[in-house]
């Protein structure tokens, strides 16, 4: 009986650790996708060779607000709005102020 309980505990621990690793990897992959979309959008509509440091300010189910801070050009940080559409992150806008988005998705700015 003792061996069965130990086996069950070991199997449970292995499954738990595997699940944690899986979800951490999945979360990291999603963050990388978000950052890639935001970077590409900024380069498309701003200075092409600008490099930015990104951080997630707020993430909801299908919306995220990121902060992009230029690291090779002297200029202000900007907010970047991205939306998850059919499982894919899509950049919608960026700027130092985003009043239209504060009206459309106010919970991002709370």
Instruction: Indicate whether 50 pLDDT > 70.
Output: yes
Categorize the per-residue pLDDT at 34 as very low, low, confident or very high, splitting at 50, 70 and 90.
Answer: very high
Q: Residue 54: in which H helix or E strand, if any?
A: strand 52-59
Residue span of the structural domain in which 38 resides: 2-109
pLDDT value at residue 24? 59
Could you tell me the end-to-end alpha-carbon distance of the chain, in angstroms, rounded to an integer?
A: 54
Query: Residue 94: pLDDT band by 50, 70, 90 thresholds?
Result: very high
User: How far is Cα of residue 93 from the mean position of the Cα atoms in its chain?
Assistant: 15
pLDDT at 8 over 80: no
Structurally, the chain folds into a number of domains equal to 1
pTM: 0.76
User: Does 102 have pLDDT greater than 80?
Assistant: yes
Closest CA to 68 of 92, 39, 109: 39
């Amino acid at each position: 009986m003792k061996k069965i309980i130990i086996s069950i505990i070991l199997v449970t621990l292995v499954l738990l650790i595997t699940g944690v690793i899986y979800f951490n990897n999945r979360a990291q992959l999603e963050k990388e996708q978000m950052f890639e979309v935001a970077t590409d959008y900024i380069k498309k509509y701003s200075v092409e060779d600008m490099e930015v440091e990104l951080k997630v300010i707020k993430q909801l189910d299908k919306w995220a607000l990121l902060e992009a801070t230029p690291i090779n050009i002297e200029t202000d940080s900007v907010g970047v709005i991205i939306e998850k559409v059919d499982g894919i992150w899509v950049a919608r806008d960026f700027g130092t102020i985003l009043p239209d988005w504060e009206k459309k998705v106010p919970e991002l700015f709370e």
